[in-house]
A and B are shown apart, each in its own frame.
Chain A
Amino acid sequence: MDVRVANVRKEFDRFPALRDVSLDIKSGELIALLGPSGSGKTTLLRLIAGLERPTRGTIYFGDEDASNKTIQERNVGFVFQHYALFRHMTVADNIGFGLKVRPSNKRPTKAEIRARASELLDLVQLSGLEKRYPAQLSGGQRQRVALARAMAIEPRVLLLDEPFGALDAQVRRELRRWLREIHDATGHTTVFVTHDQEEALELADRVVVMSQGRIEQVGTADEVYDHPNSPFVYGFIGESSSLPVKIEDGQVWIADRPIGLSTPNVPNGEATLYFRPHHVELLDECNGCIAGTVAASRRVAGTRRVELEIGGGRERVEIELPVGHPATQKSRVTFRPNRWKVFPKVVE
C-alpha cells in the first residue's frame, strides 16, 4: 500500500509538532523516521496510524484520502514503544485479539483464530509460548509478540514506534536483522521510528531525517550519509567536524588565508565547513591547508582520533589519523579535507 503524506501540519495546543511535512512511501518499502526527541517523528507515525488527526494537510492510503478515517478503518498494524500487550491475556489471545473483535460476519472461527496465532508465533520464532502471559516473557519476546499481534489483522501498513528502544544492545542487533528478514518475507509496507542512526541506516530502505517538526532529508543510507543536504543532517548522521570559514570568490578561507578548497556555487560571506573526521588527507607542505596543534588524542579501535586547535585555540576539530602517526601533544598537523561541504551561514 502506497502511503502519501501531503503538506501535513499538526499542532498541540497551538504548538506546532509538525510543520508542513510531505512524504511519499512506496508499497513494500521499509522506511525509518530518524530524528532527535522533539523532532516530530512519533507524531508523524501516529498521524499515519490515525491515532492523531492532522491540523492541516492530507494523508492518502493508495488513492483514497484517509485523513478523516479512524484507526480501525485504516487497518494499520501498530507496534507500541512499550508493546502495550494485554497483561491479562495469554500470548495466543493477544495475537488473536484483532480477529476476535471483528464483526461476526467477518470473524474467523475460534479454531481458525488459534491456528492463525500459532502460525504467526512460528513466524516470530516463539512457537510453544501460546499459553504464557506477557509478564512471563523477556523484553525481546514481548516485542515479537507485539509484532505478531499487529500482523494478525493483515494490516495495509505496519507502523513501529521505537521498536527496539527498550531492549539491550545484543537483543537489539538480533531483532534488527530479524525484522529485516520478516519484512522481506512478508512484504508489508513498514514505517518505524527511531532515534538511533545506526538502526535506521542499517535497517531501512530509505531514511527520513527529521528535526524540529520538519523533514530535513529523505534518502537511502548512502545518500544521507555521503551527501547530507543540511548542517543538521551532517551533524546528526555520523560524526562530523565543523569550522567557521569565509567564502571569497569561490575560495574557502580560514582567518586570513585560503585553505585550498574551492566552492564556486557558494556566495561570498560567512559560512561553515563540514567534513567527516576520516575524510582528511595529511599534508607535509602547507600551501593552502588547515593547520592545527594537537590538543588531545585518543585511540578508537583501529584508528587514532586527534583533537586539533585551529587558529590559536579558538576552534577545535577532530580528525582521524592512522595509528602509526607520530602525533603527540603540541605537535603541529596540517591537513585538508578530501570530502567536505560548505553551507552558507543562515541569517536568522
Chain B
Amino acid sequence: MADPELYPADQLHEHASLATSESPASRLLLMAIAFAFLGIFLVVPLVVVFEQAFAKGIGAFLEAIREPDTISAIKLTLLVAAISVPLNLVFGIAAAWAIAKFEFRGKAFLITLIDLPFSVSPVISGLVYVLLFGATSLLGPWLKMHGIVILFAVPGIVLATIFVTFPFVARELIPLMQEQGTGDEEAALSLGANGWQTFWHVTLPNIKWGLFYGVLLCNARAMGEFGAVSVVSGHIRGQTNTMPLHVEILYNEYNAVGAFAVASVLAGLALVTLVLKTLLEMRYGAEIAATRGH
C-alpha cells in the first residue's frame, strides 16, 4: 500500500475529491444556470428600477425625492424601523434564550407561534389589527374614550411591522444558541459571574454575528413591508404612508419617475445593508467561523 505521506497534501485532496466532483462541462452548465437565473430575476429588475428612476435625468430624480410627501414617507419608514427593530431584537434574544437554554412545557408551541408571521399572509396580519383596534371592535370604544389612536396612524403601522418581522432575529438565534448549549454560561457562573455579566461577557459575544444577521434581515423587512402596513395605514399622504406604500401611490398616478425614484432609494437602503454585511464578513471572517463552529 502506498504511504499517504508520499503525496503532497493538495494532490491527496485532488484524489479525494474526484469521486464527488462533476465533469467540467456540467460544472459550467450548473454555474451558467445559477447566474442566468439570478441575472434575469434579480439583477435586471434592479437595474430597471435605477434606470427608470434616472430616465428623465438626475434633476427629475432629485426633485422627486425632495417632494415633501416623499420625505415624510422616508422619515416614517426609518422611524418604524427604528422602533420595531430594537423591540424585535430584545424579543428575539429573549425567545431564543428561553427556547435554546431551558426545558419547559409548551416549547414546541412557542416555536410554532414564532413562525406564525412567516406562514400567515401579511394582509391577514394587518386585518387582525383592524379587527382588534377598529371602531367596531371590542377595544375600539375604550380606545376612543381615552383618545388613543392606533389604526390609520403611526402606532398601528409600528405594531403591524413588529408582528411581521418578529421571527427574523429569533429564527436566526435559536439554532445557533441550541448548538452552543449552556456550557459557556455554566463556566461563567462557576467563575463567579452574575447573570448579567454572563450575558454581557459570554452569551452576547457568542451570538453577536447571528444577532447581526437577524437584525439586518429584520431591518430590511421592516422597511420593505407592504401588505400588513397597507391595511392599517389608511394611506394618508404625508402622514401614514411608508416608502413602499408611497411607491404604489405614485405608480398608480402614472408618476413613473417619482415611483422609481422612491423605489431606488428603498432598494439603495437594501443594497447598503447587503454591502455592510459583506464588508463585515470579509473583515471578521475568521472570527465568525470561530463562533459558529468550535
Contact = CB atoms under 8 A, between A and B. Distances in A.
Interface string A83-103: 011111000000001100110
Interface string A56-96: 00000000000000111001111010101111100000000
B201 A82 contact: no
B119 interface: no
* Dominant secondary structure at the B interface: helix
B186 to A, nearest CB: 6
A85 B290 CA distance: 12
Given A88-B205, A97-B193, A135 B290 contact: yes
A149 interface: yes
A236 interface: no
Contact of A87 (B186, B188, B191, B206): B206
A85 B192 CA distance: 15
Contacts of A149: 187, 191
B201 to A, nearest CB: 7
A265 to B, nearest CB: 47
Given A80-B183, A82-B183, A101-B201, A72 B290 contact: no
Contacts, number: 69
Q: Which of the four size classes fits the interface of chain B?
A: 20 to 34
Contact of B291 (A49, A71, A76, A88): A88
A261 interface: no
Contacts of B190: 49, 51, 71-72, 76-78, 150
A153 B187 CA distance: 12
Nearest to A152: B191
Contacts of A101: 188, 191-194, 197, 201
A335 interface: no
Contacts of B205: 86, 88
Contacts of A86: 184, 187-188, 201-202, 205
A102 B192 CA distance: 7
A133 interface: yes
Contact of A84 (B186, B194, B287, B290): B186
A78 B287 contact: no
A84 B182 CA distance: 9
A264 B187 CA distance: 54
Contacts of B149: none
Nearest to A76: B190
7 contacts: A49-B190, A72-B193, A72-B194, A80-B186, A84-B186, A84-B187, A133-B290
4 nearest A-B pairs in the assembled complex, by CB-CB distance = A98-B191, A84-B187, A84-B183, A78-B190
